[in-house]
Amino acid sequence: MTPLPAHKAFSDAADWWRGAVIYQIYPRSFADSNGDGIGDLPGIIARLDHVASLGVDGVWLSPFFTSPMKDFGYDISDFRGVDPIFGSIEDFDRLVDRAHVLGLRVIIDQVYCHTSDQHAWFVESRAGRDNARADWYVWADCRPDGSPPTNWQSVFGGPAWTWDARREQYYLHNFLAEQPALNVHNEQVQQALLETARFWLDRGVDGFRLDAVNFLMHDPALRDNPPVLAPSKRTRPFDFQQHLYNKSHPDIPLFLERLRGLVDSYGGSQFTVAEVGGELAPTEMKLYTAGPDRLHSAYGFDFLYADRLTPQLVRETISAWPGGAGEGWPSWSLSNHDAPRAISRWAAPEHRDAVARLNLLLLVALRGNVFIYQGEELGLPQAEIPREQLQDPEAIANWPQTLGRDGARTPMPWSAGAENGGFSTGRPWLSVPADHLPLAVDREEADPESILHLCRRLITRRRTDPRLSAGDIHLLDLPDPLVAFERGGGSRDLLCLFNLGDQTATTSHPGWRVIESVNGATIDHLPPLSGFIAERAP
């Protein structure tokens, strides 16, 4: 293991998150401590030194809560419990303590738009129409012909309503039928969710990533969604509709203000970031982060589901967040547990190493926060999962139209020569791909030219240079396939230039000197898929 670098001081500064780099851990696939083939909290603790060595500011943990695992932890049956497959609440406390010793903040997922159908709240709610939690979920009578109350479709396929014979009503589920939607219009539900947040804040967490936040509230009038009039490729019934009424209710920001008020009462250094997807994401990201009383940041799917990395994509994404008065703060992610890994979406196999390096340089150069998904520091490609080995319910339901999420969730390879890449001594829940083993942590540690070492260097550059972490951004007018912008304060004295094409490009920038470069880029010569960060020469 490379010695830990001098790390940014762990302080209570309220704006520590502005420009931060956060490392996402998918607990099920990070490190297994007990040989059952599933990653766990003790495994994470044992590998936190690796995360700290990257120089990141914190970790985001995907769900580890008590769950039947129909959607691998995003169907929660106890918001305040740790599922036994991941360990215990004491293990979680030890993880937070160890992370803080290493100078790492701990951000955890909070899933407030639905629960598992095995959650005690739903068990009580479905028992009848007159109990204390009868209105804690979204229930509705059928239409006169017995059909569902609206035409809403679920993300995972099929109607977003399931009939329940006990209540003789339908309940809403925007995802799996086993994930009934909470009625967050209900004041008691809001209070229960805030108490959940309080429970974890009391245990020392440093903030929350809010899952699918625009699904928090529906239209109580139960209006039908209109169809998409000019559709692109459609792989699910969900894609045929404009999602105006099953989500995105205008009262969502009011609840977010209540949550932010609670979070700020813990000293003001905790961080909140929302996941916002869908056709209204650009507007909603700004809505949910506007002013000082809503969330600190939000990230959308600009890069996460793009099938190509183009200058237009980069320019449009940057232009959407110019940094005006009252504007929130964006976060950026190229890959995560829900999206196929970026280097496999954006590059042929022979170009993946170059694209992995280019991606890291682009990420650290962007204005906003940066989320790096486990394995991205190694340049891991998307794994190919045969149909018979699929675990992901979305992939199984929509095969072969979607790549699914399993290929981004395969276990971390720690040691190329160890059983299962050092992830587990037992049979992993998903196999470790053979082509990931040459990219294992131990192999890349031993190679000073590896993507891992580049990742550390670039994160250190960003962390120690406020022009990158917090400076403004100004796009430059260059022809495709080049994209360029300046970073800094009023002087804008950093130049970030990228060649996203397959031909060498020449440029002229006298008075600048390169301080970071990937794939052979120099101040006036950019090979394909290369880039640099330069500063004004003294």
- Each residue's pLDDT tens digit, 200-231: 999 999 999 999 999 999 999 999 999 998 76
Whether 116 contacts 178, CB under 8 Å: yes
The edge-to-edge listing of strands for the beta sheet with 169-172 is 139-140, 169-172, 161-164
Residue 211 annotated as catalytic: yes
Look up the CATH number of the domain holding residue 431: 3.20.20.80
Residue 472 annotated as catalytic: no
Q: Is residue 291 part of a domain?
A: yes
Q: Is residue 179 part of a domain?
A: no
* Two structure tokens written together for 6: 């001098």
- Structural domain for 362, as ranges: 21-115+187-464
The overall average pLDDT reported for the chain is 94
- The pLDDT, as a whole number, for residue 5 is 45
- The pLDDT, as a whole number, for residue 416 is 98
For the cut 90, the answer to whether the pLDDT of residue 325 exceeds it is no
Please tell me the total count of domains within the chain.
Answer: 2
Final residue belonging to a domain, choices 413, 446, 464: 464
- Please tell me which residue in 57, 275, 338, 444 is annotated as part of the active site: 275
How many residues does this entry show for the chain?
538
Q: How many CA atoms lie within 13 Å of 303's alpha carbon, on the beta-carbon side?
A: 26
Regarding whether 404 and 487 lie in a shared domain, the answer is no
Whether 296 contacts 330, CB under 8 Å: no
For the cut 60, the answer to whether the pLDDT of residue 3 exceeds it is no
Q: Is residue 132 part of a domain?
A: no
Regarding whether 219 and 316 lie in a shared domain, the answer is yes
**Residue 234 burial (CB count, 10 A):** 12
Final residue belonging to a domain, choices 464, 480, 507: 464
Regarding whether 385 and 415 lie in a shared domain, the answer is yes
- The pLDDT, as a whole number, for residue 54 is 98
Residues ≥6 apart with Cβ < 8 Å to 191: none
* Two structure tokens written together for 22: 């956060």
Regarding whether 476 and 457 lie in a shared domain, the answer is no
Q: Is residue 147 part of a domain?
A: no
**DSSP string over 286-318:** HHHH-SSSS-SEEE-STTTT-SS--HHHHHHHH
Q: Is residue 122 part of a domain?
A: no
| Mean pLDDT within 520-529 | 97
- The pLDDT, as a whole number, for residue 403 is 60
Regarding whether 435 and 367 lie in a shared domain, the answer is yes
**pLDDT tens for each residue of 335-366:** 999 999 999 999 999 999 999 999 999 999 99
- Please tell me which residue in 57, 75, 109, 211 is annotated as part of the active site: 211
Q: Is residue 412 part of a domain?
A: yes
pTM of the complete model? 0.95
**Residue 423 burial (CB count, 10 A):** 28
For the cut 60, the answer to whether the pLDDT of residue 1 exceeds it is no
Regarding whether 194 and 73 lie in a shared domain, the answer is yes
- The pLDDT, as a whole number, for residue 2 is 47
Look up the CATH number of the domain holding residue 482: 2.60.40.1180
**pLDDT tens for each residue of 15-29:** 899 999 999 999 999
Residues ≥6 apart with Cβ < 8 Å to 325: none
* 270-289: burial string, b at 16+ Cβ within 10 Å, e else: bbbbbbbbbebbbebbbbbb
Whether 193 contacts 263, CB under 8 Å: no
Regarding whether 445 and 385 lie in a shared domain, the answer is yes
Regarding whether 508 and 386 lie in a shared domain, the answer is no
Regarding whether 444 and 484 lie in a shared domain, the answer is no
Final residue belonging to a domain, choices 414, 434, 464: 464
| Mean pLDDT within 507-518 | 94
* Two structure tokens written together for 59: 């970790």
| Mean pLDDT within 44-62 | 98
Cα–Cα distance, 62 to 23 (Å, whole number) = 11
For the cut 90, the answer to whether the pLDDT of residue 324 exceeds it is no
Neighbour-count burial of 426, counting CB atoms closer than 10 A to its CB (0-12 exposed, 13-18 middle, 19+ buried): middle
Q: Is residue 425 part of a domain?
A: yes
Tell me the chain's radius of gyration from C-alpha atoms: 23
Regarding whether 513 and 452 lie in a shared domain, the answer is no
Regarding whether 494 and 379 lie in a shared domain, the answer is no
Q: Is residue 180 part of a domain?
A: no
Regarding whether 334 and 451 lie in a shared domain, the answer is yes
Residues ≥6 apart with Cβ < 8 Å to 254: none
